Amino acid sequence: FFSGPVWAGKIVQGSGTGVILKGDVEGARNRALDKALRNAIQESLSGILNYTEAPDQDKAYEKILSTDPFYYIEWYRFVLDARVENLYKIELEASVSEDKVKKRLSDIGVIPHASESLRLGILITNRINVSLPIGMFSEAGEDFTGFAGQQFHVRGFQVMDGPLSVDNTPESFEKLRENNQLTAIQGRRLGVDAVVLGQVEIGKETDRPGTDRSENYHVEIWVRAIRSRDAAVLGLREGDFILEKNASRAMSRQQVYQHFDSLLALIGKDIYENAK
C-alpha cells in the first residue's frame, strides 16, 4: 500500500524488526512489517484508552492486536525498508481507521456503543493578538471548535453540528459564558447531554500587569462543560504558558494545539465521570 489522502484515519508511526533466520530475508521482512503495522495500531489505540481511562486496557490491547492488522490499516508508506546485517528493519507511517478501532472496543465492552455515547455541543472561541507573526495563525480565525469536535469524536463522543446560539458574535459567547442556565437551555435545544465552552487567548506579555517581556506572548486556555439537563458544571480546566519570541511559527502552533488538546482530554474525563 502507498500513501494517498483518500481516508480520514489517524496518521501514526510504527516500526518493526525481524531476525533473518537461515537466510530467509523475505520471512524476516514479513515479520518486521507485521510488527510495524501492529505498533502503529497500538499507538492509535493508546491515545483512545489513555483518554477514556478504560478499565480493561489489557483486554483491549489483546483483542485489538489479535486481529489481522490490515482490518484497521487504511494505507501505509515506508520510511525505512532495509536489511541491516542479520536483521530486517521497517519504519512506516500509516493511516489507522479509528472508527474500526472504536467499534471493536465497543463490541468487547471497553467503551460504549455509539448509541450509548454522550452527545456534546461545542463552542470554542479565540482572541488572538493581531501583532503575532504572519502565518502563525489563520487570519480568518482558528477553528478550535472544529478541532475539539474531531478530538471528542475520535474518542467516543457524539458531536452535534448545530450552533449553540443564533449567531457566533462575541456577545453571544459572553452570554453563554456568564450564564450556565442559558448554556444548558441551548444544550437541551440541541438535544445534547453536555455543552463544552472554551476560549484560547493569545496576547503580548506586556498586556499583563507587572510584565515587561514585550517580545514574548502569553497563552491562556480554558474549557468548561455544562450538563444540559440541570446546568451543573461537570468540569473546568484551565492552563497558561509562554510562547517564546524565538520559537518557530510551526512550533508555536504545535504548542498551542498540544496544550489545548491536553485540556480537552481532561475535560473529556470529567464529562465521562460526571455527566450521567
Cell of residue 163, nine digits:
450552533
SS3 217: strand
* 182 inside domain: yes
Q: How far apart are the first and last CA of the chain?
A: 43
Question: Residues 201, 74: one domain?
Answer: no
Whether 136 and 79 map to the same domain: the answer is no
Cα–Cα dist 214/211, whole Å:
8
* Same domain membership, residue 266 and residue 139: yes
Q: Is 74 inside a domain boundary?
A: yes
Same domain, 150 and 241: yes
CATH classification at residue 219: 3.40.50.10610
Average pLDDT over the chain, rounded to whole? 81
3 assigned to some structural domain: no
List all residues 6 or more positions away from 99 whose beta carbon is below 8 Å from its beta carbon: none
Is the model's pLDDT at 276 over the cut of 60?
yes
The predicted structure's pLDDT at residue 273? 82
Quick check: pTM over 0.75? no
> How many domains does the structure of the chain reveal?
2
Q: Which of 107, 140, 173 corresponds to the end of one domain?
A: 107
CATH code where residue 78 lies: 3.30.1660.40
Give 118's DSSP letter.
Answer: P
Residue 95 belongs to a domain: yes
Q: Which domain holds residue 173?
A: 117-274
DSSP reduced 3-state for 36: helix
pLDDT in tens, 53-66: 555 567 777 878 88
CA atoms of 99 and 18, how far apart (whole Å): 30
Q: d(Cα 170, Cα 175) in Å, to the nearest integer?
A: 9
Task: Tally helices (H) and strands (E) across the chain.
Answer: 7, 8
Does 70 lie in the same domain as 42? yes
Residues 133, 269 share a domain: yes
Please compute the mean of the pLDDT values over residues 132-144 and round it to a whole number.
Answer: 68
6: Cβ contacts below 8 Å, ≥ 6 apart: 74, 75
Statement: residue 252 has pLDDT above 70:
yes
Cα distances (Å, whole numbers) of residue 53 to 36, 46, 110, 257: 25, 10, 10, 22
Q: CA of 48: how far to CAs of 40, 85, 202, 217, 234, in Å?
A: 13, 37, 29, 32, 21
Q: Of the candidates 77, 107, 137, which is a domain's last residue?
A: 107
Q: Which tens digit of pLDDT belongs to each residue from 214-250?
A: 578 889 999 999 999 999 999 999 999 988 877 787 8
Q: Which helix (H) or strand (E) holds 235?
A: strand 233-243
The C-alpha angle with vertex 258 and arms to 65 and 254, in degrees rounded to 5, equals 110
The alpha helices in 57-97, defined as continuous H runs, are 57-65
